[in-house]
C-alpha cells in the first residue's frame, strides 16, 4: 500500500465548504478517485473534531478463533480440526482458492 499523501486538512475543508465541485477539489489536491477524496475528507473532519475518531480493534472472540495452520511435507495446507468445526466445514467440502492483496481467499464451492 502506498504511503498516505500529506494533505492540508484545513484547505480541504475550506474547499468543500466553499461549494467547489468535487472534481475541482480532486484536481486541486491530486486525488485519483472519489473514494480517495472521501477518505481524506473524513480524516479532515475527524482532525478538527467535527466527526468522531474511528477506533478499530479486534474483538476477543476474533482473537480466540485465530488458529495456526501449516504446509505439510507433501505441500498440503493443514487447517486445525477446531477451526474446521468452528467454520462448519465437513469432510469432502471443496474450495476455490485465490491469491489476494492481503493473502489468500478460500471460498466454499456448493
Q: What is the pLDDT of residues 49-84, one digit of tens each?
A: 888 777 776 555 555 556 778 888 999 888 888 888
How far is residue 99's CA from residue 55's CA, in Å, rounded to a whole number? 29
Beta bridge partners of 106: 97
Domain ranges of the chain: 9-48, 66-109
Give Cα 80 distance to the centre of its chain.
Answer: 26
- The CATH number given to 66-109 is 2.10.260
Of 81, 55, 84, 79, nearest to 69 by C-alpha is 79
Say whether pTM exceeds 0.75.
no
Residue that has been written with the C-alpha cell 486445525 in this structure: 80
Residue 64 in grid coordinates:
480466540
Amino acid at each position: 500500500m502506498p504511503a498516505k499523501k500529506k494533505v492540508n486538512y484545513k484547505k480541504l475543508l475550506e474547499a468543500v465548504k466553499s461549494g467547489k465541485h468535487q472534481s475541482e477539489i480532486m484536481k486541486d489536491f491530486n486525488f485519483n478517485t472519489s473514494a480517495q477524496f472521501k477518505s481524506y475528507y473524513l480524516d479532515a473532519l475527524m482532525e478538527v473534531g467535527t466527526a468522531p475518531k474511528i477506533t478499530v480493534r479486534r474483538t476477543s472472540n476474533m482473537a480466540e478463533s485465530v488458529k495456526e495452520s501449516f504446509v505439510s511435507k507433501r505441500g498440503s495446507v493443514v487447517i486445525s480440526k477446531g477451526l474446521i468445526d468452528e467454520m462448519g466445514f465437513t469432510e469432502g467440502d471443496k474450495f476455490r482458492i485465490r491469491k489476494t492483496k492481503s493473502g489468500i481467499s478460500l471460498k466454499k464451492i456448493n
